[in-house]
Structure 1
Amino acid sequence: MISVEEARGRILAGLRPTGAETVALAEGWGRVLAAAVVARLTQPPADVSAMDGYALRSEDAREGGMLRVIGAAPAGHPYQGRIGPGEAIRIFTGGLLPPGADTILLQEDAEVLDGQVRMREAPRKGRWIREAGLDFRTGDVLLTPGRRLSARDIGLAAASNHAWLTVHRAPRIAILATGDEIVLPGEPVPAGGIVSSNAHALAALVRAGGGAPLILPIAGDDREAIGRAAVDAARVCDILVTTGGASVGEHDLIQPALEPHGFRLDFWKIAMRPGKPLIWGHLAGTPLLGLPGNPVSAIVCALLFLWPATMVLSGLPAAAPPFRMAMLADDLPANDRREDYMRADLSRDGEGRLIAQAASRQDSSMLRTLSASGGLLRRPPHTPALQAGAMVEVLVLDEFGI
């Protein structure tokens, strides 16, 4: 068995980002840039007012002074003229500062009297003016390749006059669930059967990571059927994920079914709990990740290995999922040679510290426990017994959107 860290390193080392494609700005959220976003204009394009008020010359700015109002400059409708001595124009937020003006009198500091404005306070030169290029200028590199686009980034790209963005194609992740005993959700469940949950949970995880999942029809415990389905999927996806059949029992058929089709195994079995039987290799040049059939094992392994793989394919740097430090709520016994990922409730104490309480039952079939858990509590191999109050590492599941 190899370690979790070594397994993840070997998986990520062979992956490369997907190619670039152009998408509409509205479709850019969550995608990873493949080309820089460069400003196509200057923002603001000229000096503009930051507040509602009156534009005037600083030479005329004095407390109690009177100015003749000669026009207005709402946003989008510049004043067509120049301000002279003793003159002012009504200006609104975003309105272009007219030639000759260099000062803004706030409307709350102004008193309007028969077409004139009196200054209750003397405004300071340059105050409440946003100078041209305050935000960015034409040619500025605003967003660089390798950045996952947030809603804020989409706003910036739009403001810099980009209607289209060049991003990495969303990785296509095909998911093949195997086993005679599983049926689709909503179908009648025969004696001895169970509902297939893995494919749908994994598809949701892939979407949360920015990938494009493809759920394949269930393949029964038949080598030829599994082989055909896997080969067909490998032709159109960036990673093929199988669930079930990864161990060594008589009905664990993933490796035997793929070997006649040229499957090349990289490694199998990881020193972790849950999820020891995990396959990584290549089928027809396409990476293949064989996950365990137990639903909790499949999801935990997907978070540790498929999630970072999806990140790399999307154009992001290779990295392990981020761990946070938490205080242990209860005592834990010593761990064995396998790295353990315990389902745990997460909370905050009165001082804002993260508290982790391991679930009392850790069976890898218990999806209800996983659903109710806020995180996964990591125990490295051979960790000694820990007492309540000890600091431990946790994966906060909400941070992944899963």
Structure 2
Amino acid sequence: MSSFDRVLVVDWSANATPKLGADSIWIGSAGAGAVPPQNIPTRRACMDVLRTEIAAACAAGQRMLVAFDIGFGFPRGFAAHLTGRAEALAVWDWLAERIKDDARNANNRFEVAAQINRLFPGTGPFWGRPNGHDLPDLPAKGTAREGHGLAELRDTEALCAGAHPMWKLYTTGSVGSQSLLGQAHLAALRAEFGDALSVWPMERREAPVVLVETYLSLIDPAVKQAQAGYACKDAAQVDLLARAFAKADMVQLMDVSAAPETLREEGWILGAGHAAHLLEVLEPAPLTPPRLRNDCFAMPQGVDWVPVDEALSRLRAALHPLTAEENVAVSQAGGRILSQDLVARRANPPAANSAVDGYGFAQTSLQGGGPYTLPLVAGRAAAGQPFEGAVSHGYTIRILTGAILPEGVDTVVLEEDCASDGARVAFDGPIKPRINTRKAGEDVVAGTSFLPAGRRLTPADLALASALGVGRVKVHRHLRVGVLSTGDELLADPNSDAQPHQIFDANRPMLLEIARKWGHRPVDLGHMPDDPERIAAALDNGARECDVILTSGGASAGDEDHVSHLLREKGNLSSWRIALKPGRPLALALWQGVPVLGLPGNPVAAFVCTLIFGRPALSLMAGCGWQEPQGFLVAAAFAKTKKPGRREYLRARLDAEGRAEVFASEGSGRISGLSWAEGLVELPDGAATIQPGTMVRYVPLSSFGL
């Protein structure tokens, strides 16, 4: 979309002294050679950086857009009255001859503004000054102005909510001070680069480098969401706006209907009136994945009993991720599933540094095999406090762990291996080059993918992403898993008085907690009696609130199996008879487009079916991919003879000798066996005879994510 290879966005500053951090100069970049936001302490240093960038772009044959958050022009009438020409660039040249702005940010902007005010009738138009500045022609408050004859805002500023007037020189929003200083610096830049540089929209000629005015608050909604991932709001603004301009339709942004004379004198804010487009290209509206096909669960005609592996294979083929994506701060992303690969915004480490406390030098300055004595330079290099100068050949410097290697240093000797009198350092040899140092990017290189889509983020992943400058990540929205219990025999409240024919609902709290442990968002759809209308209403509610529904009970073909009847009539039911013990029936259907997994009513069977089929199915629908449990072979501590035809899962745990012992009873009603077990023993589909010592496959519950 963008016609520029590289985009820079500059958050300018009118500080009178060098400053870093919030409310200082920041440069964001996008496109070719993009780097994390740069913080520059002075305007002079900022212009040096821009000169280097512009020269590099020209040498590489690239087109570059450089956007500044200063006003490029003043309201109509100002330029002509000041310079005799109704052109903003004439004001730039006028200011370049009078503005003084030294290498430490000391400047005369208030004096120049007072000089300008004297040339206009009445009082003003500029206003605002620090206490102690005795400038009678520059009022301290805007309300003290009168009769200067100029509008407060330019035409373009009327399209930008919250824009401050160009006449304001002091306190928050002092765009006037920024503009007076900025226009003077940009005039010098124009003179230096000549035809290689043009100013939009005052000059409509093609040039490799185009300077534009912008307004950082155009993308405030995106900045508010992303700010937590940046050093400060300013850093977020320049980075995000640079990325937006790099993706935006520049023909659309530069198609301005204002009169040519207005554009020549007042200029125009690039993006004014197009904030929605910038936000859209910066963060496109999340795409909602398609629903499952109505016939996705249908089994081929004539299929009766389905082996476990075939059932899993068919289920996997029928499903796809169901959740849209969200953009969240890394600090809030623990346990979330990446929807896109993560790419390093900076290297780790970002620069070559010392791995130890010691003394650094150039290895080539050592002659022979040692011992060596090198003179010690004044100062030191520490983490967060880099040495500003260069270390001369044949000299050494005190350096601490994590400190960036100063220019002239490529090797570090451990402090414990050195002797020093404060002026010299002595150590033995021989010394290998680059010992005790870390190369820039030796862990991760900037621009490389370091975590794949589909990964569930761990605490260690958050540390890695933060170290690599990734403040926000795109993740799948939590899969909303509804859980519905049915049956007249069930009581939802464990505190109620149960009759002999009634049992307490064990499945719903179990399934809700399983969904939570798996990182999904459980939705309690409650318990419904064997009433088709009430069950249908609960399923309707689940279709509105959930991405997938788990039901337990009523999934077979009996008179009171209302779930299966309803799903068959209205939900494209496919009842899979799986060759599995426990838990043969598995009802699969769509209710108003939402997948429904009908689990057996028996808690043990419901538990096993949820682990074997629910875990991989829900993981895939959540965007995490098909999750298969990892088991391993151990010796059996039990004996069992198994008939062919069904795969069996026994509740089990490891004894003190590492052998698999199984629960005393295989009865599906023995819920205590679920609490006792720490895993499952999986017995194959065919016949088997197990004796103590026979190797069996043991799958710990932790492998199922529990």
**Higher normalized contact order (CA 8 Å, seq sep 6+, divided by chain length):** 1
Moved over 6 A (4+): none
Aligned to 2:234: none
Pair 1:337-2:641 in alignment: no
- What corresponds to 2:83 in structure 1? none
Q: Matched residue of 1:153: which SS?
A: helix
Within a 5 Å distance, the mapping from 1:237-276 to structure 2 comes to: 237-260=546-569, 262-276=570-584
Give the structure with the higher percent strand.
1
1:70 and 1:301 mapped to 2: Cα distance? 71
The 1:174–1:248 alpha-carbon spacing in structure 2 relative to 1, beyond 3 Å, is: same
- Once residues 669 and 399 of structure 2 are traced to their aligned partners in structure 1, the CA distance between those partners, rounded to angstroms, is 67
Distance (Å, rounded) in 2 between the aligned partners of 1:64 and 1:58:
11
- TM-score, normalised by the number of residues in structure 2: 0.54
Q: Which runs of 5+ in 1 are unaligned?
A: none
Once the two structures are superposed, what CA deviation does each residue of 1:201-247 show, in whole Å capped at 9, x if it has no partner? 11222223232211112111211101110122123322111111122
Structure 1 position 35 matched with structure 2 position 332: no
CA distance in 2, matches of 1:81, 1:322: 55
CA shift for structure 1 position 100: 1.3
Kindly provide the amino acid, as one letter, of the partner of residue 336 in structure 2: R
Cα distance, 1:288 vs. partner?
0.8
Cα distance 1:258–1:93, how it changes in 2: closer, same or farther (>3 A)?
same
1:144 and 2:452 correspond: yes
CA distance in 2, matches of 1:252, 1:127: 73
Shift of 1:344: 1.5
Measured against aligned partners, the alpha-carbon deviations of 1:1-40 in whole angstroms (never above 9, x if no partner) come to 3222232223222211133222221232333221111111
Query: Any conservation in 1 of the 2:557–2:564 contact (CA below 8 Å)?
Result: no
Does structure 1 conserve the Cα–Cα contact (< 8 Å) formed by 2:575 and 2:585? no
The separation in 1 between residues aligned to 2:422 and 2:679, in whole angstroms, is 68
Structure-to-structure mapping, 1:304-319, within 5 angstroms: 304-318=612-626
Write the distance in 2 (CA, Å) between the matches of 1:10 and 1:246. Answer: 19
Distance 1:348 1:139 in 2: 49
Match of 1:107 in 2: 415
1:215 alignment partner in structure 2: 524
Whose helix proportion is higher, 1 or 2?
A: 2
1:390 matched to 2:699? The reply is no
CA contact (8 A) 2:376 2:422 kept: no
Q: How does 1:83-102 map to 2 (within 5 A)?
A: 83-102=391-410
Query: Is 1:369 the equivalent of 2:673?
Result: yes
Are residue 286 (structure 1) and residue 591 (structure 2) matched?
no
- CA displacement, residues 167-199 of structure 1 (integer Å, 9 cap, x when unaligned): 222211110011223233543132133222211
Measured in 2, the distance between the counterparts of 1:132 and 1:304 equals: 46
Does residue 230 of the first structure (1) align with residue 534 of the second (2)? no
Change over 3 Å in CA distance of 1:5–1:189 after alignment to 2: farther
Change (3 A) 1:336 1:102: closer
Aligned mates of 1:188, 1:124 — CA distance in 2: 78
Tell me how far apart the structure 1 counterparts of residues 703 and 409 of structure 2 sit (CA, whole Å): 50
- Name the CA distance, whole Å, in 1 between partners of 2:651 and 2:379: 68
Give how far 1:73 is off: 0.8
Task: Answer whether contact 1:69 1:117 (CA < 8 A) is retained.
Answer: no
Instruction: Give the letter aligned to residue 534 of structure 2.
Output: A
How many angstroms apart in 1 are the aligned matches of 2:576 and 2:391?
Answer: 79
Q: Deviation digits for residues 353-396 of structure 1, max 9, x if unmatched?
A: x5212222111122221111122122233413222222222321
Aligned to 2:262: none
Gap runs ≥5 in structure 2: 1-304
Within 2, Cα distance between the matches of 1:388 and 1:40? 56
SS where residue 641 of structure 2 aligns?
Answer: coil
TM-superposed deviation, 1:319: 5.2
Which of 307, 310, 313 in structure 2 is aligned with 1:9? Answer: 313
Q: For the aligned residues, what is the CA RMSD?
A: 2.1
Q: Rate the CA distance shift 1:166–1:75 in 2: closer, same or farther, 3 A.
A: same
Structure 1 residues 181 and 94: CA distance shift in structure 2, 3 A? same
Whether the aligned pair in 2 keeps the contact of 1:359 and 1:369 (CA below 8 Å) is yes
SS across alignment from 2:690: coil
> 1:292 is aligned with what amino acid?
P
Paired with 1:122 and 1:321, the residues of 2 have a C-alpha distance of: 53
**DSSP-derived class of the 1:296 partner:** helix
Given that residues 383 and 404 in structure 2 are in contact (C-alpha distance below 8 angstroms), is that contact kept between their aligned partners in structure 1?
yes
Q: Per-residue deviation at 1:94?
A: 0.8
Report if the CA contact (8 A) 1:335-1:379 is conserved.
no
C-alpha deviation, 1:93, in angstroms? 0.7
| Residues 1:381 and 1:138: Cα distance change in structure 2 (over 3 Å) | closer
Decide whether aligned partners of structure 1 residues 248 and 59 sit closer, same or farther in structure 2, where only a CA change above 3 A counts: closer
- 1:46 aligns with 351
Aligned residues: 397
2:615–2:704 Cα contact (<8 Å) kept: no
1:179 and 2:487 matched: yes
Between 118-127 and 360-369, report the one with greater CA deviation.
118-127
What's the secondary structure of 2:680's corresponding residue? strand
Residue of structure 1 equivalent to 2:629: 321
